[in-house]
Amino acid sequence: MSRPIEKSSARSAPQTAEGHPTCEEIELRAHQIYVERGGAHGQDVEDWLQAERELLEKYGKTGPKGKAAAA
């Protein structure tokens, strides 16, 4: 039996709620933080959490709700 197309295509395309970064965006920023720290290992969780915080703050300021609040 074949699977419905919607399910497989939904998994391949990043889906994010409005105002929230994708995992790919967090991963990229976490890697940037890692490189900025000199590439020292052992702080991957801290890098991820910092990246997530930064991006959530950024999305909060630039998202539709943030723009409406600033206007």
Structural domain boundaries of the chain? Answer: 19-70
The percentage of residues in the chain with a pLDDT greater than 70, rounded to a whole number, is: 62
Tally of residues, the chain: 71
What is the dihedral sign for C-alpha 46, 32, 20, 69? positive
Tokens encoding 24 = 């790919």
Q: Identify the pLDDT of residue 7.
A: 40
Q: pTM of the prediction?
A: 0.61
Helix (H, G, I), strand (E, B) or coil at 12: helix
For residue 51, the model assigns a pLDDT of: 98
Q: What is the rounded average pLDDT of the residues 21-27?
A: 96
Indicate the DSSP class of residue 38: T
pLDDT of residue 62: 74
Q: In whole numbers, what is the pLDDT of the chain averaged over residues?
A: 77
Contact at 8 Å (CB) between 37 and 43?
A: yes
